[in-house]
Each structure stands twice: as C-alpha cells, then as structure tokens.
Chain A
Amino acid sequence: MTTSTVDAKEREIASAVQLRLDGAIRPLLQFHGGDVRIERITQDGVVHLDYHGACRGCYLQAATHFVTVRLRLLEVPGVTDVVARGVRLSEESAGRIAKMYVAPAGRP
C-alpha cells in the first residue's frame, strides 16, 4: 500500500470510530456526566481513548470501558484493540469479561 492509501485507510477508521462513539457510546456516558475522546489511533488499528468528566475516577470506569465501549468499537472494521488512559485492569479480569461478552469474530 502506498502512503496515501495508508493515510486514507487510517482516516476512514478514525472517522468510523468517531461516528460510533458519537452515536452509540458518548450519549450513554454523557447521561452520567462523563465523556470520552479519541487520543490517537495507531497504524495497526489500536484506538487510544481518554475518559473525562465524571468518568474520571469512577469506580465503574473499567467495567464501562471493557463491557460497553471496547466491544462496540471492536465492531468497527480496522479496529484491532481499544485501550484507555487510566484504565488498567488485570489480564485475568479483562479476559473474563471478553469471554462473557463474545467479541466479534476474529477479534481478541
């Protein structure tokens, strides 16, 4: 792929992620006084998020991220993973959640 093709693909993913956030996710967070923004999206499709507002410091932030946000963003073609600043859960717990909420086929 050429550089321009890669850039176009990244922009397409970013646009689709933002659309998903704005449509399906941010309203849920804003209802509780929280919000989320995209920090960056890497070339290999890892979305880096930053929760703010009431999400910051909320004891359910990890649950919201892994259950509500991450799985919905993994449905966006090209997204390979979703991580968030300040959200840190053990691998064991993240894996348990992933098993309970079946991720889209072919995704971690």
Chain B
Amino acid sequence: MIDGIFVFDNVVHMFNASEEEVIDADGHQAQEHWLAMTSAGRPKGDNERYGGEPSKYAFAKEWTTEKAWQMVFRDSDTDIAMAQTVTLWDFWKDGLSSVETQYELHKAYPDRVLFCGGVDPGYQNLEDCLEQTEIQIKEWGATSMKFYNAHIDDKTWPCDDRELAYPIYEKSLELGVNLLQFHKGVPLGPARVEDTKPNDLQGVARDFREANIVIHHLSMPYFDETVSIAARFPNIYLALSGNLHELLFAPRAAQEFMGRLLRDVGPEKLLWGSEAPVMGCPQPVLEQFMELEIPEDLRRGYGYPQITREDKELILGKNMARLMGLDIEEKKQELGLVA
C-alpha cells in the first residue's frame, strides 16, 4: 500500500525481448523503437539496477518470475497485479509477453498476481482462438483477456468484426470473463498508427453491454477520441498503462491529461497500470502520483478539477478491484497488510 492506499496494478508483463526472439527487419525496427521508448520512460537508474547496464539494451532480455517479483512487489508498494499477455507475433517469436510466461508468474505468486490471457485472430484461426480462450480461462484461470488488433502484413483485424472477433468475446463472457482489454495507440515499429484507433471499440461496447472494456495507453495519439468514447459508454474504462510515467519526465503533460480525464471521464473509470518491468520499477511513479496536483492555471483555464485523495484511491486500486469483484479488505487481511 502507498500511504494507506491499496495498489492494484492493472498491467505487468513477463516479457522476453532477447535478441533471439526478434523476427527479421520489422522486428528489429520494433525492438529498437520499443527499447528506446521504454528506456526513456523508466525511472533513472533502473537500467543499471535491473538490467545491469545503462543503455536501452539493458532490458533486451528474458525476465524471470523472481526478478519480476522483486521489481513489482519487493521494490514497490504494489499489492496485487495482473500479468497481461502480448500477442505481437509480427515482431517477436513469442509475441513479446507470451501466454505461458504470464501464467507462470500467476502460478508462482497466486496470491498477488492475476492472469490475463490473450488470443489473436490476425494470427490464429477462429477455432484455435476459441479453443485457446477456453483453455486459458478454464484450465489456467485467466480472469481477463487482452487483445492487440493492429498488425503489419494485412493482419490487422477490426475489434468490432462480427465474424472474427465477436465469437471470442462471446466465448469469454460465456466462461465468466467479462473484462476485455485492448491495446490501443502506441504503434510499435512499422505498424500503422491509424490501425490503433480506439473507434472500433464503440461497437463492441454497445453490442456487449455486459462486458467491461479497458482501453490501454489512452490510445495515444488518439486521446480526444478516447475521452469521447470513455465518457459516453458506461462500460469503457481507461488503463493509464505507461501514461503516468510522464510524471517522471513531462509532468506538465501528465497534469494536462489527468485534468482532462477527471473533468470529462471521471476518476471511477481510470486504472493504474505500471507496465513493469518494461517501464521499470513502479515505485517512483506511484510516489509522483501521490504528489500530483492539478495546477491553478489548468483549473482556471480549462476548468479541470483538483485531484483528490479519493480520486487517487479509486485510480490506484478501488476501480480495478471493483471490476474484478475483489474485496480489498479481505485481500488486505489475506496478504497480512492490516494488523
């Protein structure tokens, strides 16, 4: 807990970005881009502390469950986290964060780590997607599913595709998993930025009112669209995955987007996500977030409300706990966080 607030990290990744994983020229472009982007956003010193060297290549390796636990739970105030699958088979042989390794982290620390599965109809036929969804949920205990729809080589698929995508959502819901998460924005390597727009999730939100849909990364650069969509659809939530790292190097930018989100979307729909270990140890970001205030010129000029402690409680853990049906007080007892 940080200052008495329960921290439920929406997104961590057990990733493997070792050189052997990278697929050809496109993969190397994506790898270079991804390493540079994540290195720039990490807390100062994390490259050396966790990767053993100061350069961006410090994190070009495979993470072990022990190392991930150290960074997320030993070195930060994170209480529980969700390990999310990444299916970017365009660039990395195992997709960057394979289903198996996320499950391994959950298996290693079942009291702390939830497992988020993933399938991809751009790369798997529908029958395999449905079979995998069933295995990941029924046998491996996935409590959420994550989707990456933007790919290269014409493998991009619309999230509101009734033939390719809807059967997967239906299967997830049928098996009791109603938290569907989507990577939007932040194209990697040569992927097209326009393929990452969040617009196709409007149809999904309307057609699956019983699902809760999470848009990641504020779909940057499609922030305005994301705000409009999250404000209008009751079942759409926003994971601030990596976005709050701007508090470290561009605090004004973070104040601006947080102010806008508080005014137009509401704190009940925002989810803290660290992207650890990709984006380094969560602790400095958590601390900066606890210090975050919306400055007077933004309040005067844009009407952005001041962020409150109650807002931070919601964002850091209560919202995600509500979506997962998790009783925070019970979990605190289980983890020995209260006397």
Contacts and interface: CB of A to CB of B under 8 A. Distances in A.
A91 interface: yes
B309 interface: no
A93 interface: yes
B231 to A, nearest CB: 3
A89 B263 contact: yes
Contacts of B234: 56
Interface of A: 56-59, 62, 86, 88-94, 96
Given A59-B264, A62-B263, A90 B231 contact: no
A90 B266 contact: no
Contacts of B304: 90
Q: Is the interface of A mostly helix, strand, loop or mixed?
A: loop
A89 B303 contact: yes
Contact of A56 (B232, B296, B303, B305): B232
Closest 9 CB pairs of A and B: A57-B231, A57-B232, A93-B303, A90-B299, A89-B303, A88-B305, A92-B300, A92-B299, A90-B303
17 contacts: A56-B231, A56-B234, A59-B264, A62-B263, A88-B262, A88-B263, A89-B263, A90-B304, A90-B306, A91-B305, A91-B306, A92-B296, A92-B299, A92-B300, A93-B299, A93-B300, A94-B303
Contacts of A62: 263, 303
Interface in B293-321: 294, 296, 299-300, 302-306
